[in-house]
Amino acid sequence: MNDTQQPSTQLFAGMQPPGPPPGLRPDVLASATAALEEEPPMDRWAQLWHSRPLRLAWAATVLALVGANLAITEAPAPSSARAAGSFLRSLAEADAEVAEIARLPRLQLDARSLAAALLGSPSRAGRQATAALGLTDHKETKS
Amino acid sequence: MTSNAPSLSPHRSKAAHVILAVGLVLILALLLGARLYGRTPAVPRPASAHVPPPATLQPGALTVPCWACQESESWPIRFRTDLDLLAPLGSGPDNAALWFAGFTKEIGPRQAEWEAALARRVEHPLYKNVLPADDPLLREAEPWCDQALMRFYPDVYELEGYATRIPNLLVAVTLARSWAARGRAAEDLDSAMEDFRRAIRLGRLLRQEDVVILSDLVGLACIRWGAEGIFDRAQTAGDTELSLIAAVVVGEAAPQKLLTSERVTAVDLTPRTRSEPSGLRIDLDDELLEKIVTRATADPDRRFRGEAIVSLNLVGYLATEPEQRERALAVLDQLSGSDDPVVATTARLARDMAPDEEMLRSLLEIT
């Protein structure tokens, strides 16, 4: 048994496992090198950052907002209005239509009508003139 | 391998870049929104308002005030008839003066619009120049006349003595005339009455503040135009009660204007002002000075107090008698402590501010 049964190592002593293909090593090394040199896949933020349409949209929005902010001018507040002229001058320069409405007749406070003066007159001539104008009643005239 | 590691980090840091970019847009947008929100609009809009119907006339409640009687001398120059019987004020909470401020001469931001409106006016046989019935300015002004308040001082203009501004009253005149004209042309009675009542409400608002005589007189005219319109239309429609109320109101207008004239004339210093080499001088007797003092301190109408305060200013600086100057300035000093802020400010300015003689010469036509 021992003579017929030889150890397997002896049986396959002359056999060697096949080696890798001769070009495998450089191919693998080249692929690995290329893989390492490639950019890693972009995440969502990077995709947003690098998106050309988004960049254009962002730039247009910023420009529009800056323009709108610059274009807004404050309307003059009426409450801050300051006088340049004068109150009396404003009255004097009031439009003719307003002046016509607001024109006040200058009254003479000391003025007395002729009839009023006659009524107050103690003289007979005055009373007669008053009666002639019909400014007193008949009874008073008779007296 | 270590030399390749840094190449991964730029992609991860783009989050900060994107957030910054979005943040910039947000900041600009918020800034724009805040500026738009806080911006004073060129054309203010009033709050919505309710205008109540005219009050009901109670039997025996209508009287004809005797403006020619002696008792009227103590009356304030106001309508004695309750104008709520014709046109109650609206309930709007906004200050209607803010709208009129836009058309202030020289400084109003809407002067160009006003000039354009003036060019749109058409001739009217009764009211001279009116805006067309469908004019946009009439529509814009209507809700402002439904407000309950019109106050210019100090909300719109500051009291600055002789430099105090007044509103562009031609705006109010044109609006009231246009509404009165449109009311007369309206076929529908309700529409006509609405326009007449709007003119009356504008007049009431103009008289409400009681600071400037000119504004008061324009307000008086607006009320008269509206009341005359109501009288005519109510009479035609057979509404005797309404036409009677309107007639009494119309009848009160002329006496008020005449008494205004009387009160102004009574303290008028023009005839007593003369020119001397040293400047303008005023000669007045003590009786007139006391009349002016009484007007300034006790008149029931604030506008006449203001007029008398201006007279005291002239006396205080230009009277020939030193005692009269002292008296006038002492009264102004006393009035500067008034509870009424308008009276107090006017008196303080009159006490401290010498009149501009050049301006006075021009006004009084003194060479």
User: For A111-130, how does the pLDDT look when each residue is reduced to its tens digit (9 = 90+)?
Assistant: 666 665 555 555 666 556 55
Task: Please report the sign of the dihedral spanned by the C-alpha atoms of residue B105, residue B107, residue B110, residue B116.
Answer: positive
State residue B7's pLDDT score.
45
Asked if residue B205 and residue B81 are part of one domain, the reply reads yes
State residue A85's pLDDT score.
37
Q: How many domains would you assign to chain A?
A: 1
Which residues make beta-bridge pairs with B275?
Answer: B280
Asked if residue B230 and residue B84 are part of one domain, the reply reads yes
Which residues make beta-bridge pairs with B95?
Answer: B149
Residue A10: half-sphere exposure toward Cβ, Cα within 13 Å: 5
Q: Which of B127, B82, B69 lies closest to B248 in space, CA to CA?
A: B82
What pLDDT, in 10s, does the model give residues A85-112? Answer: 334 444 444 478 888 888 887 666 666 6
Three-state DSSP at A136 gives: coil
State which residues form the domain around B344.
270-364
Asked if residue B239 and residue B104 are part of one domain, the reply reads yes
CA distance A120 to chain B (A): 19
ipTM value: 0.73
Judge whether A88 lies within some domain.
Answer: no
A96 interfaces chain B, CB cutoff of 8 Å: no
| Residue of B275 and B81 predicted with greater confidence | B81
**Partner-chain contact B162 A86, CB within 8 Å:** yes
**Partner-chain contact B14 A43, CB within 8 Å:** yes
- Which of B36, B166, B261 is facing A90, going by the closest CB pair? B166
**Residues of chain B with pLDDT > 70: what percent?**
95
Express the helix, strand and coil content of chain B in percent, nearest 5 each: 60, 5, 30
Judge whether B11 lies within some domain.
Answer: no
Which residue in chain A is spatially nearest to B173 when comparing CA positions? A98
State which residues form the domain around A129.
114-143
Which residue in chain A is spatially nearest to B168 when comparing CA positions? A94
Q: Which of B277, B257, B276 lies closest to B265 in space, CA to CA?
A: B257
Question: Would you say residue B258 has pLDDT above 90?
Answer: yes
Asked if residue B114 and residue B171 are part of one domain, the reply reads yes
CA distance A71 to chain B (A): 10
Judge whether B278 lies within some domain.
Answer: yes
- Which of B18, B25, B31 is facing A48, going by the closest CB pair? B18
Q: Give the separation between CA B297 and CA B186, rounded to whole angstroms.
A: 47
**Partner-chain contact A101 B101, CB within 8 Å:** no
Asked if residue B332 and residue B194 are part of one domain, the reply reads no
Asked if residue B255 and residue B125 are part of one domain, the reply reads yes
Residue where a domain stops, chosen among B266, B297, B326: B266
Q: Are B220 and B207 in contact (CB under 8 A)?
A: yes
Confidence (pTM): 0.72
A48 interfaces chain B, CB cutoff of 8 Å: yes
Q: Could you say which residues from 11 to 30 on chain A have a Cβ atom under 8 Å away from some Cβ of chain B? A: none
Judge whether B57 lies within some domain.
Answer: no
Judge whether A118 lies within some domain.
Answer: yes
CA distance B157 to chain A (A): 6
Asked if residue B234 and residue B139 are part of one domain, the reply reads yes
| Residue of A82 and B204 predicted with greater confidence | B204
Three-state DSSP at B208 gives: helix
Residue where a domain stops, chosen among B235, B266, B297: B266
Question: Would you say residue B230 has pLDDT above 70?
Answer: yes
CA distance A48 to chain B (A): 7
Asked if residue B324 and residue B297 are part of one domain, the reply reads yes
Q: Could you say which residues from 204 to 263 on chain B have a Cβ atom under 8 Å away from some Cβ of chain A? A: 212-214, 217-218, 221, 257-258, 260-262
Own/partner pairs for B192-198, CB < 8 Å, 24+ apart? B192/B229, B192/B233, B193/B230, B193/B233, B195/B229, B196/B87, B196/B225, B196/B226, B196/B227, B196/B229, B196/B230, B196/B233, B197/B51, B197/B54, B197/B86, B197/B87, B197/B226, B197/B230, B198/B87, B198/B142, B198/B145, B198/B226
Asked if residue B130 and residue B209 are part of one domain, the reply reads yes
Q: Residues of A63-77 as b/e, b for ≥16 C-beta within 10 angstroms?
A: eebeeeeeeeeeeee
CA distance A94 to chain B (A): 8
Judge whether A33 lies within some domain.
Answer: no
Instruction: Specify the amino acid at residue B313.
Output: N
A54 interfaces chain B, CB cutoff of 8 Å: no
- Which of B8, B107, B261 is facing A105, going by the closest CB pair? B261
Residue where a domain stops, chosen among B266, B301, B324: B266
B348 φ, ψ to 5°? -65, -45
Q: How many domains would you assign to chain B?
A: 2
CB contacts, 8 Å: A94 with chain B: 169-170, 214
What pLDDT, in 10s, does the model give residues B91-116? Answer: 999 999 999 999 998 889 998 999 99
Q: Which of B255, B264, B253 lies closest to B226 in space, CA to CA?
A: B253
Pairing of strands B128-130, B147-149: unpaired
Q: What is the mean pLDDT of chain B?
A: 91
Q: Give the separation between CA B100 and CA B287, rounded to whole angstroms.
A: 41
Q: Give the separation between CA A126 and CA A116, rounded to whole angstroms.
A: 10
Question: Would you say residue B253 has pLDDT above 60?
Answer: yes
Q: Are B104 and B98 in contact (CB under 8 A)?
A: no
State residue A79's pLDDT score.
39
Pair of tokens at residue A26: 């450089």
Instruction: Specify the amino acid at residue B148.
Output: A
Judge whether B48 lies within some domain.
Answer: no
Q: Give the separation between CA B233 and CA B317, rounded to whole angstroms.
A: 54
Q: Are B83 and B223 in contact (CB under 8 A)?
A: yes
Judge whether B309 lies within some domain.
Answer: yes
